[in-house]
Structure 1
Amino acid sequence: MSGLKNIFTEHPNSVNETYTEHMYMSGSFAISLFAAAFCATVHAILPFMFEKTASGIINKLHARMVTNRVVKAPFEERGKVVSS
């Protein structure tokens, strides 16, 4: 059973998130990507609509994921009192 738990928690832990935090973050990215895909599809058919919307969504996602990512303490260290 431990191996099964590891496949669900290994990657979230590698980015210092719990499984639930990672599920929420990934889900919010998925919703934004669906919105970008919708806008890009409409733009492909009607080029006067959503001219910069899809690229704007992608740029915001990149900023959230890479540029402005808040790095948390490793999961094992959260909740511990650190003396100065």
Structure 2
Amino acid sequence: MLDRLFTDHPRSVGESYGAHFLVATRFGTTMIGAGLACLIHGLVPGLFKTTGSRAIGELHDRMVTHRRR
């Protein structure tokens, strides 16, 4: 059970648990930051005009570029 929860998925993408933790944490913090920027942009449209879309593009590129088949 614990193996399935903690190591099956990281192993399926060619990462150790620790490496996957770091990658997922970076993705998560980037998404949180971009989300906050989007909320602020909603209130003040002149701020953070490209932050959300740029973050999405960068995350997509990182995920696709580093994907192991």
> What TM-score results when the alignment is normalised by the length of structure 2?
0.91
Unpaired runs of 5+ residues, structure 1, are: 72-84
Q: Alignment length, in residue pairs?
A: 69
Match of 2:28 among 17, 30, 33: 30
Cα distance in 2, alignment partners of residues 11 and 31 from structure 1: 20
**How does 1:42-81 map onto structure 2 within 5 Å?**
42-66=40-64, 68-69=65-66, 71=68
Aligned partner of 1:7 in structure 2 is 5
Bigger Cα Rg: 1
Question: Displacement of 1:70 after TM fit?
Answer: 5.8
Runs of 5+ consecutive residues of structure 2 not aligned to the other structure: none
Cα RMSD over matched residues?
1.5
| Deviating 4+ runs (over 4 angstroms) | none
What secondary structure is seen at the aligned counterpart in 2 of 1:38?
helix
Q: Which structure carries more helix by proportion?
A: 2
Percent sequence identity is: 34
